[in-house]
Amino acid sequence: MVKRKQLSEAQQSPPVEENCKSLIKKLASCKQTIRDRSLRTLLLTWLPEQASIPDEDMKKLWQGIFYCMWHADKSLYQSELIDRLAAALHSLPLPLSVHYFTVFLFTMRREWSRIDRLRLDKFYLLIRRFLHALLALMDGSSWDLELTRRLMGVLFDGTFLAGDKFQGNGVNYHVASVFVEEVREFLPLRKEVLELVFGPFVMVLGVVSDKVLVGKIKSNLFDELLRMGRRLLDVKKGGDEGVGEDDDVVVLGSIGLSMGFGKRFYEMGSSPDCCQGNRKVIFALHKEFLQLEKDMLSSGVEVSITEATREEEVPELVPITVETEAGVPETNKNVANGSSSKKKKKSSLKKCSKSKKDSDKKDEDESVDETMISDLREEFEKIASEMGPVRDEVASVCEEAEPVPVAKKNKKRKRENKGVVVEQGATVNRDAAETSLPGPSSEKSSKRVRFAMKNNLVWKPHCPLPPQDLRLPPSATPRGSALKKGIPAGPVRESPSRKTKKKVKPNKRKGVKTIKK
């Protein structure tokens, strides 16, 4: 009976390996819906239920997660997927979370050489978010020294000190480049924690044989601490003006001045474990940090690493309401008698002061406008008196012009315009010219007459200008090719069109060879 029950239970619930294999296949699917469903199952139900997972199964699982990330195309979807994967570090139990992060670093180094340049950015973001999640895990435990030492060891063993033969140096370079940016959010920290976070980089700088990694750690970490330390010294000498306690200069500069990196670099460069090619860089950093510490001692400035103070949340105060006989809620007597009356008085005083300010401002604006208008009038009258006879014209210009009704064009109007022919040298009476001009008229049926001149009419600059009271059209002269040929000014004459004979090319036929008999 017992064996039958065990067999039935085994048939009903498949083993862990079969579930893991099916999840891996679905995670690497080409369809997004299948990938999302399997990832939801993995992160919410399957992983939290496992007490421990074998190393081989975790590596296979991360292989499926890698290809799930590989198929993610859109940037917003990639960011959301990365956040879900990194958040698993906080939702899983601590031993499983450490294993999850360890295999993540192993998978990144193993698959790094297969990533093409188009997919490189999303995997850079994945590394950055996992590093931030690891630091947040330490911060969640109040930076416990034992846990911090363990997790930093996992990070360094999986990246800088990895003993595998994978070509995953890009992972190491990116971690070294973004480490200061990601740890900056959690600073300042106490000195014991900072020794566990920044201290191992001195050892890595001496042991690693990769020149590019040495340059990345030097430029992105220690050169930044040196620069901030020098700026902090200048600020302290100047009197602490314009720099807050949470500024990068204070936080990172105090680390560079107080951690004693000059002594650490000297010890590392003198040890037999140090790589010979790195001694030049290490001793150069030793000199720079030692000079910085000497400058601090000579200036008499004291810099200490202060522990971060957590801001406590202050609960909101809610007034106690008491229902009266009429059913209207009332606050406590002290609150009602004291604070409410004070609030009313303050609000009434504020309203009165505000209205007074507005009225004063309005009066000032009106006085300013009146003075400006009067000044403009005086200037205008002065200019008008100087102009003299033109005063009437200026006044007529300043008057408001009545709008002229514009009639729609029709066929009749076009015919009338075409009928107006202007010859060269012709004069027009002033009355006729004035009737042709558009102007304000009381009659509704008034029309505006315009001269319909052809495109070949131009102004002749050598002709004398007519008097202003006489309105004449411009003289007609030929344009274009006629001017180039030297035709004198005058009305346009139509020349008979020349008939061009087409040249017939002789048809050259190849001679036919005859065969002589």
Cβ atoms 189, 250 nearer than 8 A? no
pLDDT score of 235: 87
Report yes or no on whether pTM surpasses 0.75. no
DSSP 300-348: T-----PPPPPPPPPPPP-PPEEE-TTS-EEE-HHIIIIIIHHHHHHHH
pLDDT score of 412: 52
Q: Given the structure tokens 């650490």, which residue do they identify? A: 264
- Closest Cα partner for 85 from 109, 108, 57? 108
In angstroms, the CA 8 to CA 13 distance is: 9
Cβ atoms 123, 69 nearer than 8 A? yes
pLDDT bin (cut points 50, 70, 90) of residue 2 is very low
Q: Given the structure tokens 């004063």, which residue do they identify? A: 360
DSSP 348-373: HHHHHHHHHHHHHHHHHHHHHHHHHH
C-beta contacts of 487-496 below 8 A and 24+ residues apart: 489/460, 490/424, 491/423, 491/424, 492/454, 492/456
pLDDT at residue 299 above 50? yes
- Comparing 283 with 460, the larger pLDDT belongs to 283
pLDDT at residue 443 above 50? no
- DSSP letter at 391 equals H
**What number of residues does the chain have?**
517
In angstroms, the CA 267 to CA 282 distance is: 10
The overall average pLDDT reported for the chain is 73
pLDDT score of 13: 37
Model pLDDT for residues 233-265, shown as the tens digit of each residue: 888 887 766 677 778 888 999 999 989 999 999
